[in-house]
Structure 1
């Protein structure tokens, strides 16, 4: 298996519809802490960064995992941040990385979306989570190296919560 070790349940290789229960079952089986918001979106913090599991599409057949780098970087760093994101994206297939101006700071996101309209196996859920988390967190670590003061401040604040 991948980054985590246990599938949610079910026979290996069996396609079944994507559901919130399959996602939370996977997270539960791997001892991961998460919450569910009022819209039914599943989210939690991994290595201090907020990740959400969204089910999108008419039949909620698309699984999108989106993580946000949990650091405060001023908008004046937009050009430098775009260069870092573009350099990373040029060498990798996923996750998609992008930068948004959010009021007075930059939001940096990692996102990986897969269409499971024909169903999904537990192994595919594991692979999706593993690929997204490992590559997104590797990029977030790269950003922490580029912005060590912001990383230290965010880690200190997160540890106090």
Structure 2
């Protein structure tokens, strides 16, 4: 039968390397991205003023998650409206997953894109995962910026005063 190959015929020929912290950093380096590693060893950086982290989860660190947080602030009183935007996005898009949670008097809005690489991953797959996680999150953050232009203006004013410049 021509449908099957001998078990040793493909040994190591197409094996994918495991996901590691070093490989994630290496792919960010290869892309020329500016990032850092915090005291906990987490890899993160800013894209369009929004904070992103690249986490590994699972028993062997085989799950890669790109998590972004919208950098603007809106009061908890906007929860229902922001939840509606998040639910609309989650119903229409495959990724990222969007969620909202209260953080004191304000809302934290997050996007996550997670994939299980239990059987290994190629460099190209890591590149695609990082790009998809960041770019689709930025698309949702743009939607929020359009819905809350006052939050964008407040953020920009705060950034301008933090840098000692005029807003």
Unaligned runs of 5+ in 1: 1-12
- Answering whether residue 23 of structure 2 is matched by residue 22 of structure 1, we say yes
- Which of 1 and 2 has higher RCO (CA within 8 Å, sep 6+)? 1
Per the normalisation by structure 2, the TM-score is 0.85
In the other structure, the counterpart of 1:62 is: 63
Report the aligned-residue RMSD: 1.4
In the other structure, the counterpart of 1:130 is: 131
Distance (Å, rounded) in 2 between the aligned partners of 1:118 and 1:93: 22
Cα pair distance change 1:102/1:14, threshold 3 Å: same
Q: Deviation string for 1:58-78 (max 9, x for gaps)?
A: 111110110000011000000
In the other structure, the counterpart of 2:116 is: 115
Aligned-pair distance for 1:91?
A: 0.4
Distance (Å, rounded) in 2 between the aligned partners of 1:40 and 1:17: 18
Kindly indicate whether the alpha-carbon contact (under 8 Å) linking 1:48 and 1:158 is maintained by their aligned counterparts in 2: no
The count of residues paired between Structure 1 and Structure 2 equals 149
Unaligned runs of 5+ in 2: 1-13
In the other structure, the counterpart of 1:85 is: 86
Q: Deviation string for 1:82-108 (max 9, x for gaps)?
A: 001101111011110000000110000
Aligned-pair distance for 1:14?
A: 5.9
If you compute each CA radius of gyration, which structure gives the higher value, 1 or 2? 2
Aligned-pair distance for 1:54?
A: 0.5
